[in-house]
Amino acid sequence: MPSVDEFPESEVKFEADNSLPNNSWLVRPCERYHFQYKDCKSIKARVHQYFIFGQSIDCNQWYEDYMNCLDYRKTTDVNSLQKVIDSEMKRKDDRLATVRQNDVWEYRNKPPDDWSKPLPKWFQEKTKSSVLFQKQQQREELKKNKSNLQQKDENENKKF
């Protein structure tokens, strides 16, 4: 079986039909639903589910999504596609519900006033020895050399 990364991003071909339901881009390739179903039913997943939730979770929604996706693939039935979209939206809402219930963090409406202030001197000195800083310096040096060469070429071309 091919790896999950070998599948396209979406089952839906957008350029083929403009009459698709909203959020049809959420539909994954059918093989991903099958992979999720098999993973959910595996022994490893069952042990993990028991550890996290205290019981095994129902994996049938993955199977239903897989079957609806296959039905859409074979017949291009918009109702089957809509069922998969609804399932994906429910999955997304369930995942985001825990984020919304989190009352530990205070969410901002705008960034802090001093978000772009310079870093402290000790931190600037510490970053000079980092690989990223060195690579950035090399890139700037290359850009500088490249622009100098381009200027020389332009000056030589003006002479002729």
With respect to residue 10, please indicate whether it lies within any of the assigned structural domains. Answer: yes
Q: Where are the alpha helices (DSSP H) in the chain?
A: 30-41, 43-53, 60-75, 78-101, 121-127, 131-159
* pLDDT (tens digit per residue) in 25-37: 899 999 999 999 9
pLDDT confidence of residue 151 = 76
Q: How confident is the model at residue 156 (pLDDT cuts 50, 70, 90)?
A: confident
Same domain as 15, residue 51: yes
Same domain as 140, residue 73: no
Same domain as 134, residue 90: no
Q: How many domains does the chain have?
A: 2
Same domain as 145, residue 84: no
Enclosing domain of residue 26? 4-101
pTM, 2 dp: 0.61
Same domain as 92, residue 142: no
pLDDT confidence of residue 5 = 54
State how far the alpha carbon of 145 is from the alpha carbons of 7, 136, 158, in Å.
Answer: 43, 14, 20
* pLDDT (tens digit per residue) in 81-96: 999 999 999 999 999 9
